[in-house]
């Protein structure tokens, strides 16, 4: 272990601000990228499901037209 | 080999293959990130000159290396896409670009946060930093160009051409520390020479490089799958797959 206490670890030998800034922003960026990727997948699923539902409604309506 | 490789030019097969590989990449990413971060932040000794600020290396170097690796793979894919007209190769270009752009930004940002305490400046217009900034702009250009066309066939071709044009920047980044007098230090790890780094600092760095490589792989596979689904969304197999998945989630 390179540090004697938790406070030492946070202080990073006086460079705490720079080290944690670098690590913090990096992981924030990676987390945003991961969520963006997952959100895109969800959106595609939603759009395609909606499109299928819409086509089914149109088909149903077409069938009804003949009966009226 | 072509017989074996050929089915993967079909989007459905590629989608399934990517899905099979993805869990392995995710597991490797989680293991290497946890091991590398704990070792690098807690156990590796402080540098005799730079103190604990050198710990930024564990994200700076892997992010920079993988940003360039991502670009190299994009360039190969772009070449394949243009020469053999393979649409899936265009999709890998589109899938990799955002990951590469984020990695480049991380390399630049962590470099700035390291430069401030060590060089006394967040930013200098030095050859390495400037060429890396150009890499970020090239990435953003590729992403913007791909999104600018609603016709994805055209978009893929345009983005592939821009990717190949941008390749010129890769050797410039790599050799910038050799060709010009720069503030940035030279390569620490080289294929040919013994690394100029103590093993207890080098090992966590190598693990973190593997971690970023695995993350690059995982995110690219995920985005590649998204890209296939988007561009093939009118095909029956995509509709079946999505309907099937939606039914599963509804039942739970």
Sign of CA dihedral B236, B239, B245, B251: negative
Q: What does pTM read for this prediction? A: 0.91
Residues in B lying within 8 Å of A, measured between beta carbons:
41-46, 51-53, 55-56, 59-60, 63, 98-99, 102, 105-106, 109-110, 113-114, 116-117, 215, 219, 222-223, 225-226, 229-230, 233, 238-239, 242-243, 245-246
ipTM: 0.88
Separation of CA B226 from chain center:
17
Please write the tens of the pLDDT for every residue from B22-37.
Answer: 999 999 999 999 999 9
**Residue B200 pLDDT:** 85
Please write the tens of the pLDDT for every residue from B116-157.
Answer: 999 888 998 988 999 999 999 999 999 999 999 999 889 999
For B168, the 3-state DSSP assignment is coil
Short-list A43, A46, A39, A41, CA closest to B243: A46
Average confidence (pLDDT) over B153-181: 92
Backbone angles phi, psi at B187, to 5 degrees: -65, 135
> Which residue is associated with the tokens 């490789």?
B5
> Which residue is associated with the tokens 């030095």?
B126
Identify the residue among B239, B242, B243, B249 best suited for mutation to test binding to A, counting A beta carbons within 10 A and taking the highest.
B242
How far is residue A60's CA from residue A56's CA, in Å, rounded to a whole number?
Answer: 6
What is the token pair recorded at B23? 């869990």
Strand partners, B242: none
Nearest CA-CA distance, residue B145 and chain A, Å: 19
- Inter-CA distances, A58 with A26, A67, B234, Å: 48, 15, 17
């Amino acid at each position: 272990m390179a540090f004697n206490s938790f406070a030492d670890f946070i202080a990073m030998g006086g460079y705490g601000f720079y080290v944690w800034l670098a690590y913090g922003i990096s992981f924030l960026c990676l987390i945003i990228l991961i969520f963006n990727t997952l959100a895109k997948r969800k959106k595609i699923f939603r759009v395609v499901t909606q499109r299928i539902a819409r086509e089914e409604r149109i088909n149903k309506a077409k069938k009804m037209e003949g009966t009226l | 080999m072509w017989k074996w490789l050929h089915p993967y030019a079909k989007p459905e097969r590629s989608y399934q293959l990517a899905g099979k590989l993805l869990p392995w990449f995710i597991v490797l990413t989680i293991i290497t990130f946890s091991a590398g971060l704990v070792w690098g932040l807690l156990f590796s000794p402080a540098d005799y000159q730079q103190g604990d600020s050198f710990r930024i290396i564990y994200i700076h170097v892997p992010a920079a290396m993988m940003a360039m690796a991502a670009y190299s793979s994009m360039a190969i894919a772009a070449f394949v896409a243009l020469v053999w007209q393979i649409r899936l190769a265009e999709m890998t270009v589109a899938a990799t670009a955002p990951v590469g752009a984020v990695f480049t930004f991380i390399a630049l940002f962590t470099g700035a946060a390291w430069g401030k305490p060590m060089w006394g400046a967040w930013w200098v217009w030095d050859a390495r930093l400037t060429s890396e900034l150009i890499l970020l702009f090239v990435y953003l250009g590729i992403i913007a160009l791909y999104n600018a066309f609603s016709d994805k066939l055209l978009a893929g071709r345009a983005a592939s051409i821009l990717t190949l044009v941008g390749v010129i920047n890769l050797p410039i980044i790599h050799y910038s520390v050799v060709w010009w007098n720069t503030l940035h230090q030279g390569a620490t790890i080289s294929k040919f020479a013994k690394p100029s780094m103590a093993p207890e600092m080098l090992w966590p760095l190598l693990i973190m490089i593997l971690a970023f490589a695995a993350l690059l792989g995982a995110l690219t596979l995920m985005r590649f799958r998204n890209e296939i689904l988007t561009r093939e969304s009118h095909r029956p197999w995509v509709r079946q797959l999505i309907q099937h998945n939606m039914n599963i989630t509804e039942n739970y």
